[in-house]
Amino acid sequence: MKIASLDIDPQKGFTPLCPDELPVVDGHKIADELLFNHSMTDIHILTRDAHPTNAKWIAKNETEFFKKIEGANLDIKWPSHCVIGTKGFELIDGLIEPFHYDFQVYKGIEIDAHPYGALYHDLQETQSTGLIEFLRYHNIKWVLCGGLALDYCVFSTINQLIKNQVKVILNFNATKLVDLNSEKNIIEQLNKLGVKIFYNRMEIENFITELRDKDHELK
């Protein structure tokens, strides 16, 4: 039985290290928990926002933040973040090098698209990034997730995984929220989706050990 870890957008652009982008409180402090996820899994996957400098969703100033915009793959305006070649695009310190992952996803490359989930390039969820095909090829039924931020890209990615019949484990200590007040609502939604949420390493280790033992018994 193969289980994958999925590091969803663990980039400096989502941390206080880049205060002019989309800083998430303590977003730069999750590397150790993501590495723990790696230690519990067989295959390691990385996703990253990879935005251009001239994206149509980039707000010119603070008054434009979160304003609705038209476009098939656009919804609202955001501060510029995770632009290729900048500090914000880089992984948070402490993680392995990108090429040491088994699979990588880059999303949001086009100027007229701002996807959140890592399985599709478009908001209509019709153009695959290749992640779901990779999981199916390796017969991966369970994914252990973490990354930034829980109430946006992490949640969207988990939702897409569930819709594609992939079961999800969330290491709550390996993710952070943009809106701390949304925690209760997000957890309720994740529970409804059937996500297994754990708050310490021992719980995760015990659960994964149990999964592997059951799989071994079936064989």
The reply to whether CATH 3.40.50.850 applies to domain 3-49+89-218 is yes
H/E element holding 34? helix 31-39
pLDDT reported for residue 181: 95
Predicted TM-score (pTM) above 0.95 = yes
pLDDT in tens, 136-168: 999 999 999 999 999 999 999 999 999 999 999
pLDDT reported for residue 139: 97
What value does the mean pLDDT take over residues 47-66?
97
DSSP H helical ranges for the chain: 31-39, 131-137, 155-163, 183-193, 201-218
Q: Cβ distance 14 to 22 under 8 Å? A: yes
Spatial CA neighbour of 161 closest among 4, 2, 22: 4
pLDDT reported for residue 215: 82
pLDDT reported for residue 214: 85
Residue 61 pLDDT exceeds 80 = yes
Band of residue 197 on the pLDDT scale cut at 50, 70, 90: very high
Domain boundaries, the chain: 3-49+89-218
DSSP-derived secondary structure letter, 123 = T
| 130 vs 200: CA distance, rounded Å | 31
User: Which residues lie below 8 Å from residue 211, measured CB to CB, with a gap of 6+?
Assistant: 1, 3, 142
| Mean predicted lDDT score pLDDT of the chain | 97
| 14 vs 23: CA distance, rounded Å | 5
Band of residue 219 on the pLDDT scale cut at 50, 70, 90: low
Which residue carries 């590397």 as its tokens?
31
What value does the mean pLDDT take over residues 7-23?
99
pLDDT in tens, 88-134: 999 999 999 999 999 999 999 999 999 999 999 999 999 999 999 99
What value does the mean pLDDT take over residues 167-171?
99
Spatial CA neighbour of 144 closest among 36, 26, 16: 36
Q: Cβ distance 9 to 49 under 8 Å? A: yes
Residue 190 pLDDT exceeds 70 = yes
